[in-house]
């Protein structure tokens, strides 16, 4: 019972009220981020046959989320799946399987399906990244909640983040990055100056606990996206070097504890990741290299001042000229924000943090220009800085255009620091007019970057024969459903969408993934090695022209179906569906119409 006085374990009413009010404001900031993310994904909610504009990538990640849920329920190895690319399967640890998202989202996937799970994942990636940066800024770098909120908004919803979220969950999911940085660059003054306790207790507090926590976060990030972790490590290294050059005394003081924390984290991560990484590089269906020329994905220097497609001022023409594709518009910051950043760096140049941030952002902006600088779509013949590091391990597999994503949090933190400095500065300047002027400048720089709802495209629905399970009585255990055409490259895979939307109910050949070129050739390629029948049917689906077939083509079709262990061949809705149907009829005999498409029962033909 209390008597009106305050004990050591209670707080005064005014303090408690202030704390509740502060928590409410934090909740409102995060709710705002969530609301914006929901608006950006609004074109898909309630529309199952719409996908974001890079539909093939969404199909891939819907399948990955469905696989994660299936693995949890069935108790299967989450690093591999035989549900795709039958009969060989897919090494999912060597692909962007986003298990770090898919496993936590398992209840959503099981209850509402893969499309809802994908949209929820996009919302969590965008809003979660913004909220995580908001928390880091609020606790470590600024005192103004408004400054932290705007900084988090930039970090989570910059044009590059929205572009990546439309297709690449593993890149857009950056909500662990602030937490990792908070543990890497953890202040040590509490451990150094805490009264009482032993040296061992202080060392445990300063090194072991954050080191173990950091190691666990690194493991989680590996299962969300290894590429982000590589960029994070590079950016943290460049930032640390810049900070050491700006404040050598602080660097010498902080370095020992930092190195010990990293050593502990590396040990924890190495133990937990030993088998998954072995599986990735040496397990079934592993591959070497990349399936595409990563060096070709670079940004145009003019893109840094341009407007991205998914912004209020964006259009389709200019971004298409300045970026490799719509998902890699990572540098479209507009002239206002870049000018603002330059002003902030000059204004606060004496702060080591600002100098380190400015240098880090500049380095990664230059790296994103690739091996040859282009301006307004024209090659200049000038070698880009990336050429100096393009041959280094890991960097030789990096997509240069994505280096510009490091600039996103750099700009977000700089904006937050400037707003906080203007608000909290004391002395003759700045007064209210200066604060309003600076707030207006920030608004003028950021408003043109306001994102618009992510564009969608229609997709053919899953045939009811497949969705309702009409195939089940016709597919014995160990046999597959072959979707037409059986995609084996980087094209949009209909059967992969069918598999995702039915919870991986049946195994299927083909699909959209990266695997080896053949049993004796580990070189990476998109999809499974081509079979003659898959090439033939894909050509018909693209051209709409029915070829003249002979007995050799029919024999080859049966041989390919045996390789795929097929029980059924199913044709859904295609742009050139009738020519494809007539071609399959010629190869296998007449099919029969089913709800949503056509089916050929090949159990007797395949044996």
- 471 and 332 share a domain? no
419 φ/ψ angles, rounded to the nearest 5 degrees:
-65, -40
- pTM of the predicted model as reported, rounded to 2 decimal places: 0.93
Domain end, chosen from 401, 416, 449, is at 449
CA–CA distances in Å: residue 474 to residues 173, 358, 505, 600: 40, 63, 13, 11
Q: Give CA–CA dist 209/217, Å, rounded.
A: 12
Of 50, 46, 220, 40, residue with least CA distance to 126 = 40
- 63 and 176 share a domain? yes
Q: Compute the half-sphere exposure of residue 444: CA atoms within 13 Å on the CB side of its CA.
A: 11
Dihedral sign for Cα 129, 130, 135, 136, please: positive
Q: Is 600 helix (H, G, I), strand (E, B) or coil?
A: strand
- 473 and 428 share a domain? no
> Based on the number of CB atoms within 10 Å of its own CB, is 579 exposed (0-12), middle (13-18) or buried (19 or more)?
middle
Of 167, 170, 127, 168, residue with least CA distance to 149 = 127
Domain end, chosen from 418, 449, 480, is at 449
Q: 481 has which bridge partners?
A: 568
Within 10 Å of residue 6's Cβ, how many Cβ atoms? 11
* H or E stretch at 413: helix 407-424
- 242 and 341 share a domain? yes
Q: Give CA–CA dist 183/261, Å, rounded.
A: 8
Q: 570 has which bridge partners?
A: 483, 599
Q: Where do we find the tokens 């209850």?
A: 111
Q: Give CA–CA dist 567/480, Å, rounded.
A: 6
- 380 and 468 share a domain? no
Residue 15 lies in a domain: no
Q: Give CA–CA dist 193/205, Å, rounded.
A: 12
Residue 221 lies in a domain: yes
Alpha helices in 314-400 (DSSP H): 317-322, 334-347, 352-367
pLDDT for the residue numbered 195? 45
- 155 and 46 share a domain? yes
pLDDT for the residue numbered 429? 53
> Based on the number of CB atoms within 10 Å of its own CB, is 12 exposed (0-12), middle (13-18) or buried (19 or more)?
exposed
Residue 545 lies in a domain: yes
502 φ/ψ angles, rounded to the nearest 5 degrees:
-105, 10
Angle of helix 352-367 relative to helix 407-424, nearest 10 degrees, comes to 150
CB 415 within 8 A of CB 340: yes
Q: Give CA–CA dist 569/226, Å, rounded.
A: 37
- 50 and 114 share a domain? yes
Q: Give CA–CA dist 361/384, Å, rounded.
A: 16
Of 515, 517, 605, residue with least CA distance to 559 = 605
- 119 and 252 share a domain? yes
Q: 458 has which bridge partners?
A: 50
pLDDT for the residue numbered 193? 43
CA–CA distances in Å: residue 156 to residues 65, 149, 162, 179: 22, 11, 8, 14
- 427 and 552 share a domain? no
- 432 and 308 share a domain? yes
> Based on the number of CB atoms within 10 Å of its own CB, is 337 exposed (0-12), middle (13-18) or buried (19 or more)?
buried
* H or E stretch at 244: helix 226-246
CB 30 within 8 A of CB 127: yes
Q: Is 279 helix (H, G, I), strand (E, B) or coil?
A: helix
Residue 538 lies in a domain: yes
Q: Is 374 helix (H, G, I), strand (E, B) or coil?
A: strand
Q: Which residues of the chain have pLDDT under 50?
A: 1-11, 190-197, 199
Residue 409 corresponds to which tokens in the numbers above?
A: 């949090």
Q: Give CA–CA dist 30/132, Å, rounded.
A: 9
Q: Is 358 helix (H, G, I), strand (E, B) or coil?
A: helix
Residue 10 lies in a domain: no
Q: Give CA–CA dist 519/253, Å, rounded.
A: 54
CB 597 within 8 A of CB 485: no
- 382 and 508 share a domain? no
Which residues span the domain enclosing 486?
464-606
Greatest extent of the chain over all pairs of C-alpha atoms, in Å? 97
Q: Who's near 569: CB < 8 A, 6+ residues apart?
A: 482, 484, 561, 584, 588, 591, 599, 600, 602
Q: Could you report the per-residue pLDDT of 395-425, keeping only the tens digit for each?
A: 888 899 999 999 999 999 999 999 999 987 6
Q: Could you report the per-residue pLDDT of 52-92, keeping only the tens digit for each?
A: 999 999 999 999 999 999 999 999 999 999 999 999 999 99
Residue 157 corresponds to which tokens in the numbers above?
A: 């919803």
Q: Is 372 helix (H, G, I), strand (E, B) or coil?
A: strand
Residue 254 lies in a domain: yes
Q: What's the number of domains the chain is made of?
A: 2
What is the Cα 587 distance to its own chain's centre?
A: 41
- 500 and 423 share a domain? no
Domain end, chosen from 449, 474, 500, is at 449
Return left, alpha or beta for 190; rule: phi > 0 is left, psi -120 to 50 is alpha, else beta. alpha
Q: Give CA–CA dist 495/508, Å, rounded.
A: 7
**Dihedral (Cα; 530, 533, 535, 538), 10-degree rounding:** -130
Residue 261 lies in a domain: yes
Residue 37 lies in a domain: yes
* H or E stretch at 43: none
Q: Give CA–CA dist 299/133, Å, rounded.
A: 26
Q: Who's near 46: CB < 8 A, 6+ residues apart?
A: none
pLDDT for the residue numbered 20? 85
pLDDT for the residue numbered 345? 97
Q: Who's near 189: CB < 8 A, 6+ residues apart?
A: none
């Amino acid at each position: 019972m209390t008597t009106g006085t305050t004990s050591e374990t209670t707080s005064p009413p005014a303090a408690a009220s202030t704390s509740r009010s502060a928590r409410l404001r934090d909740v409102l900031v995060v709710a705002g981020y969530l609301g914006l993310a929901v608006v950006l994904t609004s074109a898909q909610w309630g529309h199952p046959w719409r996908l974001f504009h890079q539909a093939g990538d969404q199909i891939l990640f819907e399948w990955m989320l469905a696989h994660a849920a299936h693995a949890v329920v069935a108790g299967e190895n989450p690093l591999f799946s035989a549900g795709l690319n039958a009969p060989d399967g897919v090494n999912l640890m060597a692909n962007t399987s986003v298990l770090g998202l898919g496993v936590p989202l398992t209840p959503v996937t099981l209850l509402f399906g893969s499309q809802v799970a994908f949209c929820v994942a996009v919302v969590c990636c965008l809003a979660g990244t913004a909220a995580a940066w908001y928390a880091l800024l609020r606790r470590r770098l600024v005192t103004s909640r408004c400054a932290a909120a705007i900084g988090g908004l930039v970090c989570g919803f910059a044009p590059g983040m929205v572009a990546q979220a439309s297709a690449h969950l593993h890149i857009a999911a950056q909500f662990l990055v602030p937490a990792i940085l908070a543990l890497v660059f953890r202040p040590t003054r509490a451990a150094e100056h805490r009264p009482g306790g032993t040296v061992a207790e202080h060392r445990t507090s300063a090194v072991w606990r954050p080191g173990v926590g950091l190691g666990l976060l690194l493991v989680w990030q590996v299962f969300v996206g290894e590429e982000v972790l590589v960029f994070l490590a590079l950016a943290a290294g460049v930032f640390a070097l810049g900070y050491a050059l700006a404040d050598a005394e602080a660097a010498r003081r902080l370095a020992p504890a930092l190195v010990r924390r990293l050593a502990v984290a590396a040990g924890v991560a190495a133990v937990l990741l030993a088998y998954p990484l072995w599986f990735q590089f040496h397990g079934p269906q592993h591959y070497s290299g990349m399936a595409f020329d990563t060096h070709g994905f670079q940004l145009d220097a003019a893109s840094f001042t341009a407007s991205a497609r998914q912004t209020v001022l964006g259009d389709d023409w200019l971004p298409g000229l300045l970026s490799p594709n719509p998902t890699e518009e990572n540098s479209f910051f507009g002239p206002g924000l870049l000018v603002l950043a330059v002003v902030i760096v000059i204004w606060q140049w004496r702060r080591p943090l600002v100098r380190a941030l400015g240098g880090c952002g500049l380095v990664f902006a230059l790296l994103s220009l690739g091996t040859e600088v282009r301006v307004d779509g024209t090659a200049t013949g000038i070698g880009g800085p990336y050429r100096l590091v393009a041959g280094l391990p890991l960097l030789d597999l990096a997509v240069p255009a994505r280096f510009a994503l490091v600039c996103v949090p750099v700009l977000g933190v700089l904006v937050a620091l400037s707003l906080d400095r203007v608000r909290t500065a004391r002395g003759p300047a700045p007064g209210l007019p200066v604060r309003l002027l600076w707030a207006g400048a920030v608004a003028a720089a950021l408003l043109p970057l306001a994102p618009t709802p992510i564009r969608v495209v229609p997709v053919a629905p899953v045939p009811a024969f497949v969705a309702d399970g009409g195939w089940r009585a016709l597919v014995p255990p160990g046999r597959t459903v072959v979707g037409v055409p059986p995609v084996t490259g980087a094209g949009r895979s209909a059967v992969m969408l069918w598999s995702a939307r039915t919870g991986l109910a049946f195994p299927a050949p083909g699909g959209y993934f990266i695997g080896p070129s053949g049993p004796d050739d580990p070189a990476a390629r998109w999809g499974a090695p081509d079979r003659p029948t898959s090439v033939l049917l894909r050509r018909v689906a693209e051209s709409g022209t029915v070829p003249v077939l002979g007995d050799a083509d029919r024999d080859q079709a049966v041989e390919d179906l045996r390789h795929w262990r097929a029980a059924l061949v199913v044709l859904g809705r295609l742009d050139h569906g009738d020519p494809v149907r007539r071609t399959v009829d010629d190869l296998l005999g007449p099919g029969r119409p089913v709800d949503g498409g056509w089916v050929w029962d090949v159990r007797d033909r395949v044996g």
